[in-house]
Each structure stands twice: as structure tokens, then as C-alpha cells.
Amino acid sequence: MGIVTLIGAGQMASALTFPLFENGNEVRLVGTPLDGEVIARLREDNYHINLDRTLHEGIKYYTVDQVEEALDGAELVVCGVSSFGVDWFLNNMFKLIPEGVPVISVTKGMIDLPDGTLQVFPEYWQEHMPEGVNVELFAIGGPCTARDLSDHDHSFVAYCGKDLKKLEWIRSHFETDYYHIALTDDVVGLEAAVALKNGYALGTAMAIGLKNRLGDDGIAHVNSKSALFQQSVWEMYQLLDIVGGNQKMIMYAAGDLDVTVAGGRSRKVGQYLGEGYSMPEIEEKLAGQTLEAVVIATRTARAVKAMAKVGKVKESDFPLLMHVDQCLNHGAKVDIPWKDFQTITCDAIK
Amino acid sequence: MGIVTLIGAGQMASALTFPLFENGNEVRLVGTPLDGEVIARLREDNYHINLDRTLHEGIKYYTVDQVEEALDGAELVVCGVSSFGVDWFLNNMFKLIPEGVPVISVTKGMIDLPDGTLQVFPEYWQEHMPEGVNVELFAIGGPCTARDLSDHDHSFVAYCGKDLKKLEWIRSHFETDYYHIALTDDVVGLEAAVALKNGYALGTAMAIGLKNRLGDDGIAHVNSKSALFQQSVWEMYQLLDIVGGNQKMIMYAAGDLDVTVAGGRSRKVGQYLGEGYSMPEIEEKLAGQTLEAVVIATRTARAVKAMAKVGKVKESDFPLLMHVDQCLNHGAKVDIPWKDFQTITCDAIK
């Protein structure tokens, strides 16, 4: 094993230090400009204030001004910024990565272009890489909460990239008896799947909010939650094809949807909407937290609308997404468009 | 609306009396030879002892010896038997259905043939229909617990059949403001999806059992549950294609998996296995309950093995199913084959 440098000391990157360190890598964790407090406390006693876990003694911590030192001798770099740090990473970090050192990213999300094109971050980065910089990109997707990974619960994710040999080499740094990693060369499919699931976890969680609103009425309300889960899978399945991914990546979209609906911020937003809160109220309740689900749902809806305008897709094929967008961005109250789910499909012949 | 006769007074058929009756249909519920107690009590005060709900006053109840009376004038028949009653229904009921009256079935499951062919019940029935009997078959699939449907929770299911016009007419009997119905002509795909999900709900629930076994260890263990959920979706996605269904039916497989893992008998079996109980112990704990998940998992595994023998599929593509089969039928203890999930897929090009 060798030196692995993680840039961004968010929860997921920090959780990845567990398998990396246990595999005998030298692990260097670099805070972004937003991670000052996190790094300060880690240096004291290895306790991560947001992850709420103590990292392994022996991990080396750096602030962003020390990033070049942290990169010196690294054989692998992990990009651990949130989707809000994508341009910061693009403009400030790539040029510092030593020649030939690959980057694997845990950042989940997509960019939408005016014509409705949805671009996953590895594509976006590749296209906008600073002049003269050439970095090989890989990415991570799949259902994995940072805390469960830190606690050594069995986790099953996928790593993607165009060079499968290099990907196997990357995997060898991470794989343990509790962290299981499939590999695929479908970067667009995997990354789209796990980006989309944030918006749809928000949508599915509306049912949880609606249930809460009714109070203890003696009804399990599992049907309505699974109904939205099902509709989410269907809309993501269509979107995977639209963005140019392989539809078999639906396994990661569905698996990641399952874990995301089980807890976390994306669920919270949908739940609060279902309970009847307005977006300004929700933003206040979740102040200081990055709401990636809101961003990805908004971008995906905007892309669908743009594509619909030129006849590439139909908005009516995405009723849940359109309703989520209405609630997030146009002041609508949750009122699930159930009847719009009643599609008639005539396609037994494949 | 008209007269709708349901044969089999199990939980799901009985729950369907809610939308049917509320739509103004004359609803006749016929008990099978196993439903004696259920019908006796329903006649007293409309209370269903297994569903634990009171049906609408005005529904007419029949015992099996009165089935011809119950069928007299019916314009639609619902087959509500469990998968264990498939041959009973085939051999005793179809010949009694008046000419031209369609049958829609809620029975979920598949038959496996010696060569590994998996047949959904509508296909099986069609092929073995008694001499001279000609009944048009339709079927119901999707995430819907009988109790939530009885309680008017929003439910989103699919009805399938070859004649979409007839299917729309059937839907008009059932559809309400809380019961939402998509339509498809992919009978094999939909019925395979919702049959397979029982076996995989058992498999996914093993993670819940493993968690229980560890006791309150402060770990959420959502990663391991979603890992098995994800692997289930992947194996079902492959199986849908193998049985000749359209892979877009994965939405119903995933949605129904979600609701089935949330509760019920299929989950119980997997959970008990995860907790360390042996199959004889589990059969004792669940004595008197029909364990459809055990049957479908066993049949699917047997089919995969038979197909693998002639090179049609690889057993290694179904590691979770194979392990479930080992636990159910060969005395194995739960020991999730995590590393076998680590596939390498090279198929970005569709």
C-alpha cells in the first residue's frame, strides 16, 4: 500500500479513512477552507465533530494551505468535497495533483446545461480541466452512510472509471472484509444513478411526512411510501437512459435510494414538506446544512423541462419529479399526483 | 358497476372488497375450503379475523359449496387464493366461471419446470386450462399490503393482461381516490417481478436478523440492509430478462421489495435466519402460516441451477439467491457471500 491523500474532510471522505488506514495505507486528510473546525479537533484527539466518530490514531491531518505537502508522494487522491465544492476543487486542486496520480471522487451530483443536458461531475471536470492539466478520474457510488462505514457495517458500493485495471488497483487500497466494491466502466450510469437518488429520496420521504402529519392513526402507511419508492425507481430508470447511462445501473439507484430514505438530510427535506412546512421554513430548520437533494432535484427538473421543450422527453413521464420541483421552487404544497402515475405500458415485446 | 365475485377470502382479496364496494359494485366474497372460520365470522359482523379489519356492511359472503350461486350474474371474478391454491383453483374453479367472464388474480408466484423454465401463474393456468374451458386471465402486482389498502392508505399497483381495453374496464371497477392502478400488457414481466420479490425480501431481511443478533450495538446497520436490497434488485433485474419479461418491470420488483421488507411473513423468515434460527425452528415459530417466500426462493434457485447446467445462465450471477437456497434447503447458516457481489461490469456501451 502507499500514500492516499483525501481532500475534503467531510463525513464520507473521513469515513473512508477507516478502510484505507486499516489496509496499511498512509492516510492524509486535508480540510477544505470550510473544514477548519473539523481539522482542529481531529488534530487534538482524532474525533470528527460532524461524523461523530473517532478516526484511527496515525492519520495525518492537514489544512488547505498545506495541501501540497499532503500531496507529496501520494499515489492516489480522493476528492471528498460536497457538490457545492465542485468548482473549487476544479479550479484550485486539480492543478496541484502530481502527474499520473489518479483521483477518485465521492462527490455526488450533476450539472444541467441550458439545453437540458445533464452532466455527471467526472464528465464536467474532464471537460473543464484547467489548461495543461491531465488527471485520470474515477468515482464512487452506492448505498453507504458514512457512520455505518465508520462502524464497520458491511457496505456494498461500486467504483467506476474507464480503465478497469487501474480501477482494480484503486480498489485494492479500499477493499476490506466489511467494505465491498463492485467495478464498472459506466461512469455516467453509476454517477447519474447515485446523484438522482438524492432528489428522489426527497420525493419518497414526502410520504413519511404525510404519515407524520396524520399522527398515530393506527395505519402503517407502508403502501404510500413504497408507492413513491416505486415511482422513483421508474423515473430514475427512464432518466438513466436519457443521460446515456446503462439502465442496469438502476441497482445502485434503488439501493442508494433505500439507504437515503432511511435517514439523512435528503429525507428530512421531503419529510418536512410532507408535514406541511414551506421551503423557507425548512431552510431555517436545516440552516447550515448543505441540501444537495434540493439542488439535484431542481437541476433534474429544469433539464427535463428544457428537453421537453424541444420534444426530447415528456414532462408527464416524470410526475413525481415535477411535483417535487413545484414544492421546492414554486411554493406548492405536497399533493402527490397519484393519478399521473397510472401509466399504460404496452411493451411486453422488448 | 356490476357484480364482482372474489374466490378466496384471504387478506388481499378481502382488502380488495374496500375499493370494489365503495365503487358501487355488488361484492361477493367466497371462502375456499380453508376459509371456513373466516367466512363464519364475516357473516356475524363483517370482521375478518386474519385481516383484522371490519369489511363493509353489504358485502355478501359465501362458502365454497355456494360458489355457483356467487358466480351467477358476475361480470368479473377475482382469484384470491394463495400460491398453494393454484392447482385447486385450476382444477375446480375455472370450469365454473361463466363464459366470457374474465378472471383477475392476486396470486403471486411461479412454477419451475425441470429444464429451468419459470412460469408465472397466468401462463401456467392458460397452458393447463381444463378441456373446453376458455377464460381470459388478468393479474395484479405491486406494493400493497392488505391492511394498508383496507385502511385507505394510498396504494400504487399495476394490473396486467393482453387486452388493454378489457384491462381498463377491469380497472374501472377497482380504481378509487386512494387505489391507483397502472396497466401493462407485460404479464410475464409484472408477475415475475412481484413473485421474485418474495424470495428476495427474505434475502434482504437477513440483514435485519443479523442486526438483531448483534443487539443494541449503537450501529444503524442501514448499509448492510441496503447492500442486500441492492443485490436483490440486481439479481431480479437479470431474472426478469431470463424469464422473458421486460426489464422496466424492475420498478414493481423494487417497489414491492420495499413494502415486503417493511413487514410480513417473507421478512420474518429472512430475519429469523439472520438471527440464527434453523429452518425447522422457523417453521415451528411460523406454524400454520403459508410461507410463499420459501417456495418461490426454492423454485427460482432450482431453476437457475437447472439453467446453469445447460449453460444458459451462471449460478455465480445469483450469489444471494444461491445463499438463500443454501439456508432454506441445505442447512447452511447465514453467512452473506459479500465478495461474490463484487462484479466487474464493462458495459458502458449499451
In a domain, A346, yes or no: no
Report CB contact under 8 Å: B230, A164: no
Retrieve residue B277's grid coordinates.
434460527
CA nearest B323: which of B283, B273, B287, B266? B273
* Residue A227 near residue B180 (C-beta atoms within 8 A): yes
- Separation CA B5–CA B130 (nearest Å): 21
Q: Is-contact B138 B103, C-beta < 8 A?
A: yes
Q: With bands split at pLDDT 50, 70 and 90, how would you rate the model's confidence at A86?
A: very high
Together in a domain, A177 and A204: no
What ranges make up the beta strands (E) of A285-349? 344-345
C-alpha cell at B160: 396486467
- Is residue B333 one of the residues assigned to a domain? yes
Q: At what angle do helices A222-243 and A187-214 cross, to 10 degrees?
A: 160
List all residues 6 or more positions away from A16 whose beta carbon is below 8 Å from its beta carbon: A6, A78, A80, A106, A149, A174
Q: Quick check: B166 contacting A, CB < 8 Å?
A: no
Cβ atoms of B268 and B294 closer than 8 Å: no
- CB atoms A252 and B231 under 8 Å: no
- Does a structural domain hold residue B348? no
B156 touches chain A (CB under 8 A): yes
Tell whether A169 lies on the interface with B, counting CB pairs under 8 A: no
Residues B254 and B142 in one domain: no
Residues in chain A: 350
A184 to B256: CB separation less than 8 angstroms, yes or no? no
CA angle A160, A162, A167 (to 5 degrees): 55
Q: From the candidates B144, B145, B153, which should be mutated to test the interface with A, based on the most A CB atoms within 10 A?
A: B153
Residues B337, B340, B342, B347, CA torsion sign: negative
CB contact under 8 A, A227 and B263: no
pLDDT at B349: 44
In the structure grid, which three cell numbers stand for residue A343, read together? Answer: 401509466
Same domain, B223 and B319: yes
**In a domain? residue A349:** no
Whether B314 and B308 have beta carbons less than 8 Å apart is answered as yes
ipTM > 0.85 for the complex:
yes
Closest Cβ–Cβ partner in A183, A336, A342 for B182: A342
Nearest-CA distance from A68 to chain B in Å?
A: 34
Q: Is A95 a catalytic residue?
A: no
Type of residue at A222: V
- CB burial string B251-273: b at 16+ within 10 A, e below: bbbbbbbbbbbbbbbbbbbbbbb
Using CA atoms, how far residue B51 sits from A147, A152, B288, in Å, is 39, 40, 15
In sequence order, what are the beta bridge partners of B143?
Answer: none
B98 and B230 in a common domain: no
The backbone torsions φ and ψ at residue A286, rounded to the nearest 5 degrees and listed phi first, read -105, 25
Q: Which of B150, B185, B220 is the last residue of a domain?
A: B185
Chain A residues close to B336, C-beta within 8 Å: 154
Strand stretches in chain B, DSSP E = 3-7, 26-30, 47-48, 53-54, 60-62, 76-79, 103-105, 110-112, 118-120, 137-141, 155-160, 179-184, 344-345
Please report, for the domain that includes residue A178, its CATH number.
3.40.50.720
**Mutate which of A214, A345, A346, A350 to disrupt the B interface (most B C-beta within 10 Å)?**
A345
Task: Kindly state whether A84 is in contact with chain B, defined as any CB-CB distance less than 8 angstroms.
Answer: no
Say which CATH number the domain at A231 has.
Answer: 1.10.1040.10
B326 and A227 Cβ atoms separated by less than 8 Å: no
pLDDT in tens, A120-170: 999 999 999 999 999 999 999 999 999 999 999 999 999 999 999 999 999
Binding-face residues of A in 20-59 toward B, CB within 8 A: none
Average pLDDT over residues A301-318: 97
> Cα(A268)–Cα(A290) distance, rounded to whole angstroms?
12
Note whether A204 and A181 are same-domain residues. Answer: no
pLDDT of residue B290: 83
Residue B35 and residue B150 share a domain: yes
CB atoms near residue B139 (< 10 Å): 23
In angstroms, the CA A308 to CA A192 distance is 19
Residue B160, classed as helix, strand or coil, is strand
Interface list for B 318-347 with A (CB within 8 A) = 336, 338-339, 341-347
Note the pLDDT tens digit of each residue in A165-206: 999 999 999 999 999 999 999 999 999 999 999 999 999 999
Q: Annotated catalytic sites of B, by residue?
A: 197
The distance of B173 to chain A (nearest Cα, Å) reads 15
How many C-beta atoms lie closer than 10 Å to residue B75's C-beta? 18
Given CB atoms, is B161 within the 8 Å cutoff of chain A? no
Question: How confident is the prediction along chain B (350 residues), in pLDDT tens digits per residue?
Answer: 899 999 999 999 999 999 999 999 999 999 999 999 999 999 999 999 999 999 999 999 999 999 999 999 999 999 999 999 999 999 999 999 999 999 999 999 999 999 999 999 999 999 999 999 999 999 999 999 999 999 999 999 999 999 999 999 999 999 999 999 999 999 999 999 999 999 999 999 999 999 999 999 999 999 999 999 999 999 999 999 999 999 999 999 999 999 999 988 899 999 999 999 999 999 999 998 889 999 999 999 999 999 999 999 999 999 999 999 999 999 999 999 999 999 988 865 44
Give Cβ neighbours of residue B34 (< 8 Å, ≥ 6 apart).
Answer: B85
Residues B300 and B199 in one domain: yes
**One domain, residues A172 and A204:** no
B311/B260 same-domain check = yes
The three-point CA angle A28-A32-A33 to 5° equals 140
Q: Which of B160, B185, B210 is the last residue of a domain?
A: B185
Look at residue B347 and tell me if it is in a domain. Answer: no
Its domain, for residue B312, covers: 190-341
Spatial contact of A98 and A5, defined as CB atoms under 8 Å apart? no
Q: Are residues A132 and A209 in the same domain?
A: no
Does A227 have pLDDT greater than 80? yes
Residue found by looking up cell 397452458 in the block: B127
CB-closest option in A151, A262, A341 to B219:
A151
**pLDDT attached to residue A341:** 97
How many domains does chain A fold into? 2
**Minimum CA–CA partner of B253 in chain A:** A230
Is A247 in the B-facing interface, judged by CB distances under 8 Å? yes
pLDDT one-digit tens code per residue, A260-300: 999 888 999 999 999 999 999 999 999 988 899 999 999 99
Q: pLDDT > 90: what percent of chain A? A: 96
- Kindly state whether residue B346 falls inside one of the protein's structural domains: no
Residue with cell 386471465: B137
- Residue B169: predicted pLDDT: 98
Q: Which of residues 105-144 of B touch A (CB under 8 A)?
A: 142-144
Q: How many CB atoms lie within 10 A of CB A229?
A: 30
Instruction: State the Cα–Cα distance between residues B285 and A318, nearest whole angstrom.
Output: 44
| C-alpha–C-alpha distance, residues B182 and A341, integer Å | 7
Read off the pLDDT of residues A336-349 as tens digits, 9 standing for 90 and up.
999 999 998 886 54
Mean pLDDT computed over A41-47 = 98
Residues of A in contact with B237 (CB under 8 A): 248, 250-251
**Cα A34 to Cα A13: distance, rounded to the nearest angstrom:** 14
> Residue B204 falls within a domain, yes or no?
yes
Average pLDDT of the residues in A9-17: 97
**A92 CA to chain B: closest CA distance, Å?**
30
Query: Which of A108, A197, A211, A225 is flagged as catalytic?
Result: A197
pLDDT in tens, A23-33: 999 999 999 99
* B237: helix, strand or coil: helix
C-alpha–C-alpha distance, residues B323 and B329, integer Å? 10
Torsion angle of the four alpha carbons A219, A143, A250, B255, in this order, in degrees rounded to the nearest 10: -10
Nearest to B180 among A142, A263, A341 (CB): A341
At residue B184, the pLDDT reads 97
Cα of B92 to nearest chain A Cα, Å: 30
B177 and B32 together in one domain = yes
Given A185, A207, A233, the domain boundary residue is A185
A:B CB pairs within 8 Å: 247
Query: In this structure, are B227 and B80 located in the same domain?
Result: no
Residue burial A319-339, b: 16+ Cβ < 10 Å; e: rest = bbbbbbbbbbeeeeebebebe
A260 within domain boundaries: yes
Q: What does DSSP say about strands B118-120 and B110-112: parallel, antiparallel, or unpaired?
A: antiparallel
